[in-house]
Structure 1
Amino acid sequence: MTSQPGRAAGAPVRIALDAMGGDHGPAVVLDGAARVAAARADVTFLAFGDEAIITPLLPKWPGLAGRMTLHHSDVAIRMDDKPSQALRTGRRVSSMWMAIEAIKRGEADVAVSAGNTGALMAMSKVCLRTMPQIDRPAIAALWPTLRGRSIVLDVGATIGADAQHLVDMAIMGAAMASIVLDLPRPTIGLLNVGAEEIKGLEEVKAAGRLLREASLPQLAYHGFVEGDDLGQGTVDVVVTEGFTGNIALKTAEGTAKQIGQYLREAMGSSLMSKLGYVLARKAFAILRQKLDPRRVNGGVFLGLDGLVIKSHGGTDGLGFAGAIEMGYEMAHHDLLSKIRTSLSLAQEIRAPGMAAGAEPS
């Protein structure tokens, strides 16, 4: 398996955009791109979508002139399409596929889409394939914590995980943390039902043994962590399988909305509450910012032989800009090379039955 052509040193970061993905259409994508273009001189865009819809919108964002090329596609993947259906109708012709394929062709360094998550993952796997040694890709998300931010993966790419998959995710998550969190040796925790080594599923316990005994130079294995450690920021990277990770993610998002609703109701319940809100406006503004999902928008598909970023489907221009920024950082700091290097250093801890460098069945 060959890697996709890389970005030349010092060259602009080329970002492919699925302009038709998401709940709100091309306006959000263009707004996000314009925000990033205004902040970064070393970014260019390839947008894929319906010219008849996108072209009339472009005058609103003059900063994109000369920084973005538009490529027509009259097929858009719907948010409710099943992955198999999306592949049948959108392979090679949809805006989503074309954005991903731009990476394979060497025309883009990263693709960003707010479209259907299942379809985006299915198309990315078919078009880009996975890296050697990687069985299944994972989605990694930034997580706000009391200490700042951490990375959690997998938050929904695949259901279930064996020990080797958990180890691979730990290695890939550490590589991402070294870029996003600027940590030379991030701490890694395996999400479990208890911190004691005797607790949990056999796969989790086996992954813990492999990581602990390996003492890899690129990460520091902390041990098992529990659900409350996610918000505490106990470790820099939390590793779990996709079913549990997705439930944790949706629970956190729902809790943030619940707290926000409680605060709005409490602040409007009486004259004294309203006065208290006026006096504490700055504090509430800080809290609102910390709870704003747009601040951490952008899930990274790890394990693919190419960089793909998934933005929240219901985001606005500011949130989509955050997803683009995530893609920029991953490409600019060459995440794929870091992951390949980390995997090669960890060949000695391949789980039983998985030889180093072997392709999974």
Structure 2
Amino acid sequence: MTARLTIALDVMGGDRAPAVVIDGANIARERFPNVDFLMVGDEQRIAPLLARLPLLQKVSQILHTDKSVSADEKPSVALRTGRQSSMRLALDAVADGRAVAAVSAGNTGALMAMAKLSLRTVPGIDRPAIASILPSQRGETVMLDLGANVACDAENLVQFAIMGDAFARAVLGLVNPSIGLLNIGSEEMKGREELRQAAALLRESPLAAQFKGFVEGNNLSSGTVDVVVTDGFTGNVALKTAEGTAQLIVHLLRESFKSSIWARVAYLLMRPALSQFRNRVDPRRYNGAVFVGLNGIAVKSHGGTDGLGFANAIGVAVDMAMHGFLDKIRGQIAALQATAAEPVSAVSVVP
């Protein structure tokens, strides 16, 4: 029998908490019958919702706190005052082994700050990164960092490649995911010095066979590689641009089909194909960004998602836990350290 997993949920995080979190957990319960939930938040608000869902209630335990982190709270303030918040207690449950992962739709900056403090980083990793999945012509692409680190050096980028490789193996089920560094051109002389240094280090690392060199912005949607590595500033801009482009396409399609009677008739004929297209680019399907590099699994759901989107974020956490995400990162770090010419510190894990 498959061992049962406990996922800690920050039930008070998100624009429509706690209802959306409970709804998402109920959807996830059907998908993952081996999962239990530690519901962290205000029991007076959670219990009535669970009472309406007896099957979910059966696999859930409430950890009460009446404190939560607001959407606009500064990370520094959240660290000082939020030790008993639903967000922090969910992360602490992972740190002390009561849960295998934490999922929150709350304040991103506060979640990152609290996760770094509560879970710490994996030995050999300097900085955690935010990783997520984007749709592409070939299927799905992992991209990181999406905003945790504005500036990165070559060693950071190599570590992101390690974490992206482990993420793609755990969540997408890829055996040897291809890896590329996001740059302004594919030529070796293009880009900043840290990018060229990172490329050189990757070509000499255990990831050399998977590393395909530099990729450009248009390669994100074409799926040229399975894992795209970049700094947090560039990654966040690229992500928001992709999201905006998808929204623009949907908007233009809607306007086009309203333009004439014949366009409306065409819409009726194309309805099945359009439904398939809408499902393919539905942001809820790709909900669940992960703070990779931490000594524990923390998943960030979009704050404005619905139950289906939150269920998908829970699914990401379950996949990472079931497929040994942390062990894969530790194994890659050990392999890099073993190839070093001399002993290395946590700051320098590559030859």
Q: TM bucket by the smaller chain? A: over 0.9
Q: Which amino acid aligns with 1:192?
A: N
Within 5 Å, give how 1:169-208 maps onto structure 2.
169-208=160-199
Cα distance in 2, alignment partners of residues 302 and 343 from structure 1: 14
Residue 338 of structure 1: aligned partner: 328
Mapped partners of 2:343, 2:130: distance in 1? 25
1:214 to 205, 209, 213: 205
Shift in Å, 1:216: 3.0
Residue equivalent to 1:94:
85
1:39 Cα offset (Å): 2.1
Runs of 4+ in structure 1 over 4 Å off: none
Pairing 1:356–2:344 present: yes
Aligned residue runs from structure 1 range 46-65, under 5 A: 46-65=38-57
Paired residue secondary structure (1:25): coil
Q: CA RMSD of the aligned region, Å?
A: 1.6
Please report how far the alpha carbon of residue 319 of structure 1 lies from its aligned counterpart in structure 2 after TM superposition.
0.2
**Deviations for 1:206-238, whole angstroms, at most 9, x for unmatched residues?**
000011122537x60000000000000000000
1:10 offset after TM fit, Å?
A: 4.2
Is 1:298–1:309's contact at 8 Å kept on the other side of the alignment?
Answer: yes
Checking the alignment, whether the CA contact within 8 Å between 2:164 and 2:227 is kept in structure 1 is yes
State how far apart, in whole Å, the 2-side matches of 1:240 and 1:153 are: 6
Q: How does 1:1-361 map to 2 (within 5 A)?
A: 10-91=2-83, 93-216=84-207, 220-347=210-337, 356-358=344-346
Q: Residue 169 of structure 1 aligns to which amino acid in structure 2?
A: F
Cα distance between partner residues in 2 of 1:85 and 1:349: 42
Secondary structure at the residue paired with 1:214? Answer: coil
Q: Which amino acid aligns with 1:324?
A: I
The answer to whether the 8 A contact 1:115-1:313 is kept is yes
Residue 61 of structure 1 deviates from its aligned partner by: 2.1
TM-fit CA distance, 1:359: 5.5
Match of 2:149, SS state, is coil
Cα deviation, residue 57, structure 1:
1.5
Structure 1 gap segments, 5+ residues each: 1-8
Equivalent-residue separation in structure 2 for 1:216 and 1:268 (angstroms) = 50
CA distance in 1, matches of 2:343, 2:174: 30
CA contact (8 A) 2:11 2:40 kept: yes
**Aligned residue type for 2:26:** A
Cα distance in 2 for residues equivalent to 1:215 and 1:43: 35
Structure 1 residues 140 and 349: CA distance shift in structure 2, 3 A:
farther
Query: What is the identity, as a one-letter code, of the residue corresponding to 2:259?
Result: S
Amino acid at match of 1:269: S
Contact 2:125–2:346 (CA under 8 A) maintained in structure 1: no
**Number of equivalenced pairs:** 348
- Residue 157 of structure 1: CA displacement? 0.9
Q: What SS does the corresponding residue of 1:140 show, helix, strand or coil?
A: strand
More displaced stretch, 205-214 vs 317-326: 205-214
Q: Deviations over 1:144-164 (max 9, x none)?
A: 000000100000111111000
Q: Deviations over 1:19-78 (max 9, x none)?
A: 000111111111111111122221000010111211122233222122000111111101
Question: What is the percentage of aligned positions where both structures have the same residue?
Answer: 53
Q: Give the AA of the match of 1:312.
A: H
Residues 349 and 141 of structure 1, relative CA distance in 2, 3 Å threshold:
farther
Distance 1:67 1:268, change over 3 A: same
* Secondary structure in 2 matching 1:98: helix
The one-letter code matched in structure 2 to 1:175 is: A
Residues 303-361 of structure 1 deviation map (CA, whole Å, 9 limit, x = unaligned): 101000000111000000000000000001110011100110112567x9x9524368x
3-state secondary structure, aligned to 1:80: coil
Separation (CA, whole Å) in 2 of partners of 1:183 and 1:88: 40
Q: Which residue of 2 aligns with 1:6?
A: none
Contact 1:348 1:356 in 2 (8 A): no
TM-score by length of 1: 0.93
Contact conserved, 2:155 with 2:347, CA < 8 A, in 1?
no
Report if aligned partners of 1:188, 1:239 keep a CA contact under 8 Å in 2. yes
Instruction: Write the letter of the residue equivalent to 1:335.
Output: F
Contact 1:139/1:154 (CA < 8 Å) preserved in 2? yes
- 1: CA distance between counterparts of 2:211 and 2:254? 41
1:134 counterpart letter in structure 2: I
CA contact (8 A) 2:163 2:293 kept: yes
